[in-house]
Amino acid sequence: MSAASAFQGQDVPASLFSDFAPPEAYRPHLLGGTLWVVDVAGRPCAFLAALAHDERLHIDELDVLREHQGHGIGRRLLAHAIDHARARGFARLSLTTFRAIPWNAPFYASLGFIEWDPNDAPDSIRKALAKEAAFGLKDRCAMRLEL
C-alpha cells in the first residue's frame, strides 16, 4: 500500500491501492533465489521479485516504501538484479510497466531498457499485458534489457 501511494493522482484504477499480491505469491521468487529485500534499520523497506523464464529474467514486482522512495534504493535494487542476471548468463531482463509515469518506463529506460513490441515478445508477456488491461490498467508496455 505504501509503495502504491506513489500513484495517487495518476490515471489508475482504485483497485491498485487495495489489491495486493499475498506474500505466498512470492514463494517461487524466493525459492528461485531471485527475491531481494532491502532493509533499513532492521525494517524491510523495498523488494524486487523476479522469475526465470528460460533465458530471460522477468521482474514481476519492484516496490519501495513511500517514505524511502526517491533515495536511490529502486535504482540500486534494479542494478543488483541486472548484475545477477548477467552473472548467471541470462540473455535479457523483462518487465511490464506504465509507459508515461516518470518512475516507471522512463526510469527503466535510463538503465537501458527498451520497449518490447508485444508482437515480438513471448506469449507470457502478451498474457501479462492482457491481464493488466483486464484489471483496468491503461498505457502499459513491456520492456526488455538485452544483456
Binding residues for ligand COA, rule: CB under 6 A, are 3, 6, 62-64, 69-75, 97, 102-104, 107, 110
Residue with smaller CB distance to ligand COA, 74 or 81: 74
Q: Residue 83 burial (CB < 10 Å; 0-12/13-18/19+)? A: exposed
Residue with smaller CB distance to ligand COA, 89 or 104: 104
- How many angstroms separate the CA atoms of 85 and 34, rounded? 9
Closest among 92, 31, 88, 95 to 63, alpha carbons compared:
95
- How many angstroms separate the CA atoms of 12 and 96, rounded? 15
Residue with smaller CB distance to ligand COA, 18 or 89: 18
- In the bound state, the residue with its beta carbon closest to ligand COA is 74
Report helix, strand or coil for 94. Answer: strand
Least separation in angstroms between CB 141 and ligand COA: 10
Report helix, strand or coil for 79. Answer: helix
Least separation in angstroms between CB 106 and ligand COA: 6
Least separation in angstroms between CB 52 and ligand COA: 18
Contacts of 20 (CB under 8 A, 6+ apart): 1, 4
Residue with smaller CB distance to ligand COA, 5 or 89: 5
Least separation in angstroms between CB 14 and ligand COA: 16
Residue pair 62/74 in contact by the 8 Å Cβ criterion:
yes
Residue with smaller CB distance to ligand COA, 99 or 147: 99
Least separation in angstroms between CB 93 and ligand COA: 12
